[in-house]
Every structure is written in C-alpha cells, then in structure tokens.
Amino acid sequence: MTGASAARRSTGTHAPSTVLFVCTANISRSPYAERRARQVLPDADAGITFASAGTPGYPGRGMDPAMAELLVARGGDASGHVSRAVDEEILRRVDLVVVFEFAHHMRLLDSFPRHRHVILGLQQAARAVRALGASRAEDTAGSDALDRVDRLVSVAGQNSMSYDVEDPYRRGPKAAQDCADEIDQLLDVVLPFLAGREVPRLAVPPLAVPPLAVPTEGTRALRPAWRLGRSAPRRALP
C-alpha cells in the first residue's frame, strides 16, 4: 500500500484512488490509456481517478499525433495533454502504477524502490483480474476502490517482457492502431474490476486474456537483457 493509501486508511477517509499510467515519453501509450479510462470512468466516478507520466519522460510535449487521432476518432479528448516525467512527488499521491513494458517496470524499481508493491504491467494486471475471476460487478460489490487495488496487487505474479505493449511511436498508422486496440482490450478487462461494476466497453470484440500463471519453484520471470550482461535494445525516442 502506498503512503497515500495508508494515510486514507488511517484517517478513515475515502478520497478517490489514483491510477497512474506510465510509458517511456508520456506522449503515446500512457496518455491514450489515461484518456480512454476517463471516457468510461470520469474523474472520481467509482472512487478512482487516472493520470499519466513517463520514465524517463520528455516533459512539455503534447500527445503523439497518430495516437491522438485514434483517441479522438474513438470518442476521447486529446486536448490539453502535457507530458511529464515520473518523480517521487507524483508517486507519493498514487495507489497503482500501470506500465506498458517490463523496461518501465525495472526503471521505476531502480529509481523508486519504495513503491515497488504498487507497480504492475497493464497485461500483468489484466491477467491478474482473470486469475481472480472477479471482473464482474457483483464479484467486487461492497469493496471500495482502494480495497480493489490492494486485491489486484496481492494476486499479481511477476511481470515479464513477454507482457509488453509495444511502443507505436514513429512506426506508422498500423502500429498505432494495433497499440490502441490492445490498450482498449486490456482496459476492458481491468477497468470493470477497478470500478467494481460493469462499465462501457472500449473494444469489440473483447480480448481473451488467459489467467496469470502462478510462479512455481524452479521458474522465474524473464529478466531484461541488460540484467544478463547484454546491452539494452535501443529504441528511437522523440
């Protein structure tokens, strides 16, 4: 539980829980996910709000035009987004951090280890919901948003590079559409659980996400190549 979550629990208050989406530059995947989540769960609805940031981040930029165009075409609002970098002050105020690549996860663990218990990959979170078998409203009725976040984190296994949602930046309209489709499909799994009720669907048809495999003795999640002594793959950044 984050410091923000613990403070609310100790005071008995029920301020909205905050979910932070984090990608590389905070111009493509994370703002798209933030704005799509807000479409179906407006701020403070169901006791949850959404934000986004980047690691390492490229502050002061608007949304990538390709992802912004898709967002608007799907009924979202791309206006007013200004990219920012993750920092301790931001993390101190959030209850769940959702990343798009294992590399993001590892950067956050390296820089902000005290928040390690609330960082999940988007696909990792979707698989955890499936493992819980609790995406329906009646299965989470009676709990508040913080309870649901805590429950999700408690059952999530290890993250993995195999769960990455690929970066569409400067890879053309097909890559952007594939990325947006995947994010919509995964949000359709995660958002109803976080809200504790059914919410409007973002994607049709829905994505079949298998349950998260529980690690057993003798198995381990994939590690980044650079952790094994090889150079990290280079990605074109803005």
pLDDT, position 15 = 52
pLDDT, position 46 = 60
* Per-residue model confidence as pLDDT tens digits over 216-227: 444 444 333 333
Three-state DSSP string of 90-117: HHHCCCEEEECCHHHHHHHHHHCHHHHH
What is the DSSP code (8-state) at residue 8? Answer: H
* Mean pLDDT, rounded, for 163-173: 95
Would you give the distance in Å from CA 211 to the centre of its chain? 17
> What's the rounded Cα separation, in Å, for the pair 216 and 213?
9
Comparing 233 with 47, the larger pLDDT belongs to 47
Q: Are the CB atoms for 222 and 102 separated by under 8 Å?
A: yes
| pTM of the complete model | 0.79
Which of 71-80, 126-135, 136-145 shows the highest mean pLDDT?
71-80
pLDDT, position 147 = 84
Helix (H) or strand (E) holding 84: none
